[in-house]
Structure 1
Amino acid sequence: MRRSGIGFRRGGGPYRFTGANAWYLPYLGSDAVFGNRGRLIRELDRLQKLGVHNVRILAGAEEGPLKASIKPGFVNRDGKVNEQLLVGLDFTMAELAKRDMTAVLYFTNNWEWSGGMMTRLWYETGRYIDMNDPAHAWPAFPDAGSAFYANPQATACFFSYVRTLVTRTNTITGTRYVDDPSLMAWQLCNEPRPGVSPDVMEKVLPSYYKWIDDSAALIRSLDPNHLVSLGMEGTIATNGRTDIVERAHQNIDYMTAHIWPLNWEWVDGKNLAGTWDSGKSKVEAYINTHVELANKVGKPLVIEEFGFPRDGELYDPSAPTTFRERFYELIYRAAEASLTSDGPIQGTNFWAWNGEARAEHPDHRFRDGDLSYMGDPPHEPQGWYGNFDTDAEMIDAIRRHATHFTTSA
């Protein structure tokens, strides 16, 4: 896999994809009490039938004290790596290869649901705060977590994990990850931010850029065959500053954008009809901004996260998806228009695939020990943004887009 201008090339031809997020696949792929390989196979079969060719997957989670983080993690405070989860990742990659699908694997997280940078800071300092802790109001969590970039011990341990994974040989197939054609890209982090408060951001930016550049250089020194991506949300992560987005991608192969109208208060989940038009305008403007940025830097753009609630912001599969359908069509039309005009959008990854999973509790909340993993991570209501295998209208929208947009070698 390689980049060619504002496009991707795979197997000698162009590569453009319809994709999904399914962070939990290595958990299903593990041959452990929390694994379910039968379900993993069924979910990949479903996605393949939809025309989904790419899946974005969690490939690193830090086990620690954060209340909402998934357990087990890929690594713990002692630096011990969970081989059961790595074998689960191996199994996932082997099954993707059977279907000629590709993966984007991210090493860590800016947010609490998989431990992430805050947990790596706790490993070294013994201090942490929880997201949504009333004693530490927003944006205390991302501001505090941004100290990771300048902490030499925390970043050194991160680099050690990167080496472990990039140099790994798949125990199922015997293929080295560096030689695996089913791997599209290594991704540094899910939504890395240089803090949120402007004063914090200014202090953090030098170490933020250095961490990005050093991480990319390390990965390329170990693996010259795959792309390196950042996993950034875009200008929402930089208080609207396009210069930060440009500099952050200086040594990165392609740009990414994430779009969350409800989380960003562009729409009201309880009044989607009354707030749709204004939200739609903001989404269109956000896409246009990132298309312009991608053209300016001359690199592909992937809209790699986009999510929208069910009608009434309900969580059960029985709730309609009227406005989610409109939102997906908005994203998909932008991607298809980019294709028509030889623009930079080369991939779309919806958030997320729930498949056959269903909430285990009436309150739709994830609890430690639950095994019905969904695309909705453990800190979120189960069913908030994910698509179920019974969501016929959503499935039709995804399949239609894949028919028009996807190319695969």
Structure 2
Amino acid sequence: MLERREVLSTGLSLLIGAAAPRSLGAAPPFVRREGTILRVGPDAYRFAGTNMWYAAYLGADAPFGDRARLKRELDRLKALGISNVRILGSSELSPLKNSITPAFRTQSNHYDETLLGGLDFALAELGRRGMRAVIYLTNFWEWSGGMMTYLYWTNGGRYINMNDAAHPWPEFPDMVSQFYSSVPAVNLYHDYVRAVVGRTNTVTGKAYAKDPAIMSWQLANEPRPGGSDAVALKQMSAYLAWIGATARLIKSIDPNHLVSTGSEGTQGCIGRDDCVVHAHEFPEVDYVTAHIWPQNWSWADPKDLAGTWPTVEAKTLEYIAAQTAIAKRLGKPLIIEEFGFPRDGGSFDPAAATTFKDRFYGLIYGAVAESMKKGGPIAGSNFWAWGGEGRAQHADHLFVRGDTAYLGDPPHEPQGWYSVFDSDASTQALVRSHASALVA
């Protein structure tokens, strides 16, 4: 078993201890946790959701933004019954090969008001539609700059690119994990957390901390303690300390909203359930998260989806059962906040069929519905990801810096890999049916 987390005695604990809680009266519209149930007022909050990392980019009043498209996309999602959208709330200007520009921030503490204004606009539009956001505040991976960029800013300029042949897996995640024990890097990140969580929306005039359009603040997208077992175990105490310190910091600024880690679950915690338990047992962490990626995890062969489907089905249900058991052990809700599957033949073309993708969505939605029916801890799901009217701008389906067509697939991935397009009628029918059943 892992050692229990150590009492924070570093500069991080001093940093958090110095933050005095603000008095902010909670209002009924906020989502709150009650054991393994999420509630709004007296009612259980159960949702069908999606991921739309680029919402703030579309919301920006700039040439790279498109506010009219953002409104159209949210209208489409609302019509499907989607009520929860997980979005990017930070990006770090980075030398990393696949990172997006522009970015929310540089190394300085002068953050980009254009993109923050885009986040303001996105939240205002979500609120107008009665929808809620989950906002992640940095990234373990390279596509938005993320933790590697914080290290680059504070370690003398050292970094490595993901998928660099000179630095094969797991060198990238092992290096990223140094972030948790780097006081200068974490301090820069916490400065940004303070600024965003404590922000007042320039569109609505409402403090973020008082805005029911936000469901949850999320520490990061898919934070991991490391890539290899040896490095992850070495960094585990720092990883857990970072989770606890950041969750407390967020709650000290905004006690009205939920806090979550953004973890993949066991798959992102060196395959150890006890690691996930320790990462989510902090009282300031309100619910457990799980991500499910059959192709990425070698359960599915995109060229033989029919032949590998039995493995996909068995391992997916097994994984959901394991994450459900963790949530029950902790007495907290579970959100399956990322899940995705390739189109038939592994195609990235919106015209390609979605036979097995639809089957996979049905598998996830069935497990969610069954948990809810039996009083289990699963409170909702967010498919990855809404691409809407976005289309790849290049024949090779690769993202190029400066592209503004924004799909659900981030810049490091083939454009169209996991996106649900506005033309995907059968997939949308599944989403609509599931969302409707949750409110029946």
Interval containing the TM-score (normalised by the shorter chain): over 0.9
1:56 is the counterpart of 2:86: yes
Q: Match for 1:109: what amino acid?
A: N
Stretches of structure 2 lacking an aligned partner (at least 5 in a row): 1-30
Question: 1:345 Cα deviation (Å)?
Answer: 0.4
Whichever residue aligns with residue 281 of structure 1, its letter is: A
Task: Give the AA of the match of 1:205.
Answer: M
How many Å separate the matches in 1 of 2:179 and 2:242?
9
TM-score (norm 2): 0.92
Q: Please state if 1:337 is matched with 2:367.
A: no
User: Which of 244, 250, 253 is matched with 1:213 structurally?
Assistant: 244
1:21 paired residue among 51, 60, 66? 51
Residue matched to 2:143: 113
Quick one: distance in 1 between partners of 2:91 and 2:439?
30
Aligned-pair distance for 1:239?
2.3
1:359 alignment partner, SS class: coil
**Aligned-pair distance for 1:327?**
0.2
1:259 and 2:292 matched: yes
Task: Please state whether the residue corresponding to 1:279 is helix, strand or coil.
Answer: helix
Question: Could you tell me how far apart the structure 1 residues matched to 2:183 and 2:106 are?
Answer: 18
Listed as ranges, the matches of 1:251-400 within 5 Å are: 251=282, 252-400=285-433
Distance 1:121 1:265 in 2: 30
Q: Secondary structure at the match of 1:208?
A: helix
Alignment-derived partner of residue 66 in structure 1: 96
Contact 1:191–1:232 (Cα < 8 Å) also in 2: yes
Name the SS of the counterpart of 1:80 in structure 2: coil
Deviation at 1:198, TM superposition (A): 1.0
- Does structure 1 retain, via aligned residues, the 8 Å contact 2:124–2:203? yes
Contact 1:61/1:114, CA 8 A, preserved across alignment: yes
Give the superposition deviation at 1:329.
0.4
Amino acid in the other structure paired with 2:433: R
Contact 1:109/1:116 (CA < 8 Å) preserved in 2?
yes
The aligned residue for residue 10 of structure 2 is: none
2:247 & 2:107 partners in 1: Cα distance? 24
Residue 27 of structure 2 is matched in structure 1 by: none
Q: Deviations over 1:245-285 (max 9, x none)?
A: 00000121000000000000001011101111112101110
Question: Aligned pair 1:193/2:193, yes or no?
Answer: no
- 1:203 match: secondary structure: helix
Residue identity opposite 1:287 in structure 2: I
**Deviation of the 1:13 alpha carbon:** 1.9
Contact map agreement 1:64 1:77 (CA 8 A) in 2: no
Q: Which runs of 5+ in 1 are unaligned?
A: none
Normalised by the size of structure 1, how large is the TM-score? 0.99
Structure 1 residues 68-120: Cα deviation after superposition (integer angstroms, max 9, x where no partner): 00101111123331110000000000000110000000000000000000000
Aligned residues: 407
How big is each residue's C-alpha offset from its partner over 1:6-61, in whole Å with a ceiling of 9 and x where there is no partner?
01111332111000000000000000110100000000000000000000000011
Match of 1:10 in 2: 40
CA distance in 2, matches of 1:249, 1:72: 33
Q: For 1:315 and 1:2, how far apart are their aligned partners in 2?
A: 39
Indicate the percent of aligned positions where both proteins have the same amino acid.
Answer: 56
Of 201, 222, 235, 1:170 maps to 201
Displacement of 1:406 in angstroms is 4.5
Instruction: Give the corresponding residue for 1:136.
Output: 167
**What do the CA deviations read for 1:180-226 (whole angstroms, capped 9, x no partner)?**
01110000000000002111011100000000000011011101100
User: Alignment partner for residue 268 of structure 2, among 237, 244, 249?
Assistant: 237
- In 2: Cα distance, 1:249 partner to 1:361 partner: 41
**What is the CA–CA distance in structure 1 between the aligned matches of 2:416 and 2:199, rounded to whole Å?**
34
- Residue 225 (structure 1) aligned to one of 245, 249, 256: 256
Query: Could you tell me which of 59, 84, 87 is aligned with 2:114?
Result: 84
Aligned partners of 1:70, 1:209: CA distance in 2, in Å?
A: 28
Moved more, 77-86 or 162-171: 77-86
RMSD: 0.8
On the 8 A contact 2:232/2:270 being kept in 1, the answer is: no
Q: 1:109 to 1:215 in 2, by over 3 A?
A: same
